[in-house]
Amino acid sequence: MKKAKRYIFVVAALVLVVAVLAGLKFAQISKLIAMGKDMQKSGPPPEKVGSAVAQAQAWEGSLSAVGSVAGVKSVAISNDAAGRVKKIHFESGDLVKQGQVLVELDTSVERAQLASAKSRRDLARTTANRSKMLVQENVLSKAQLETDQAQMKTAETDAAALSALIEKKIVRAPFAGRLGIRSVNMGQYLNPGTQLTTLEEIGAMYVDFTLPQQELSNVKDGMPVRITLDQGKGPAIDGVMSAVDPAIDNATRSIKLRASIPNKDDKLRAGMFVQVAVVMPQRGTVVTVPATAVVHASYGDSVFVIEDKKPDMPGGTTTPDGKPIKMARQQFVRLGEARGDFVAIVDGVKAGQEIVNAGAFKLRNNAPIVIDNTLKAEALLNPRPENR
């Protein structure tokens, strides 16, 4: 009986402990469920964002293309005569003037031959002058005078030919510009036509590009052209249309065009690709939003339109400090051309709609938001950021 009572007492104690633990766990779960319902009812906390209004702006029309930069003057510097390099007067990337000496080949043999030729030339001149005086005194025949004069001209021609050969072995810059990478070394033997370096004129560049043949009637010489680097992210450079090819390419049915672009800051280099926009005289009205308002994703571009909070949505309508809580509705859009800090909206947003301008990356569809424009950056068509 004592053992039975002891077992009953232990079992009752275990049941009591299990019951207490189950009650505590039930209370905790009930509390969590109640807290979840309260949070669901109150909804997620609103996100603080900046806002902007979609504007209808008058933009000039343009024709876009991808172009390639080419130098107005661009040559490969090479030697005309064969010889061994004696002196090099430049380094890669140097700025040179027109006529500046770049490379001198060994001319010691030619200079010795020139000295001998000049001596023969001087002797032939003296002989011809003496013969001329003797002919005037009827001492010498005219035939001998003609022979002496012919020898003088031959000697002068030989000296001139050697001078020209020596000059050919001195390579000079044909115009002012910037040199490319040096590809010649001291003591190197050069065959005629060996490329020494390249020379590009600075100050202006050409941009070659193509447009569909349907645009032939819309383009002409003198039209303004605007190019941008870095896929349109950098500042634009203004130029002018300088040539329109009258023929249409048989393979692509496109027009070849060329624009002249100033290169004051030396940002353009031959071979670079750039974005080209031919500015048309017509202007059109487009709906624009700041570029920071657009959310780019693999499934499409979108913006968040600010709307009043719906009555059936959880949560309050104002913040503790009295600011109204609104809703951000995700709207997919079709983008057009970008200019400055703005991008055109072809479809999806109308002028006058308020959109999220700052903080859109942290939103989801129908997310509650609070507008705070105290630190909003101003969007400009022609931004001019200061260098720091």
176 pLDDT exceeds 90?
no
Q: Do 43-60+285-371 and 63-72+203-282 fold alike per CATH? A: no
Average pLDDT over residues 12-29: 85
Instruction: Decide which of 32 and 40 is more confident.
Output: 32
Assigned token pair, 343 = 């991008």
372 pLDDT exceeds 90?
no
The CATH architecture of the domain made up of 74-101+174-200 is Beta Barrel (2.40)
Q: Could you report the per-residue pLDDT of 221-231, keeping only the tens digit for each? A: 889 998 888 65
Per CATH, domain 107-168 is 1.10.287: yes
Determine which helix (DSSP H) or strand (DSSP E) holds 327, and give its type and residue range: strand 326-332
94 pLDDT exceeds 60?
yes
Secondary-structure class of domain 63-72+203-282 per CATH: mainly beta
pLDDT band for position 388 (50/70/90)?
A: low
Q: Could you report the per-residue pLDDT of 142-162, keeping only the tens digit for each? A: 888 888 889 889 988 989 988
Instruction: Decide which of 63 and 305 is more confident.
Output: 305
Assigned token pair, 165 = 């050969």
Task: Report pTM.
Answer: 0.53
3-state SS class at 159? helix
Per CATH, domain 43-60+285-371 is 1.10.3470.10: no
Parse the chain into domains and list their residue ranges: 43-60+285-371, 63-72+203-282, 74-101+174-200, 107-168
Q: What are phi and psi of 376, to 5 degrees?
A: -75, 135
Q: What is the pLDDT of residue 211?
A: 92
Count Cα atoms within 13 angstroms, Cβ side, for 331. 22
Average pLDDT over residues 242-270: 88
pLDDT band for position 330 (50/70/90)?
A: very high
pLDDT band for position 302 (50/70/90)?
A: very high
Poorest-pLDDT segment among 9-23, 200-214, 312-326: 312-326
Measured on CA atoms in the order 131, 133, 134, 140, is the torsion positive or negative?
positive
Average pLDDT over residues 316-326: 79
Percent of the chain with pLDDT over 90: 23
Whole-number Å distance between alpha carbons of 371 and 307: 11
Poorest-pLDDT segment among 213-222, 246-255, 317-326: 317-326
Q: What is the pLDDT of residue 11?
A: 81
333 pLDDT exceeds 80?
yes
Q: What is the pLDDT of residue 234?
A: 63
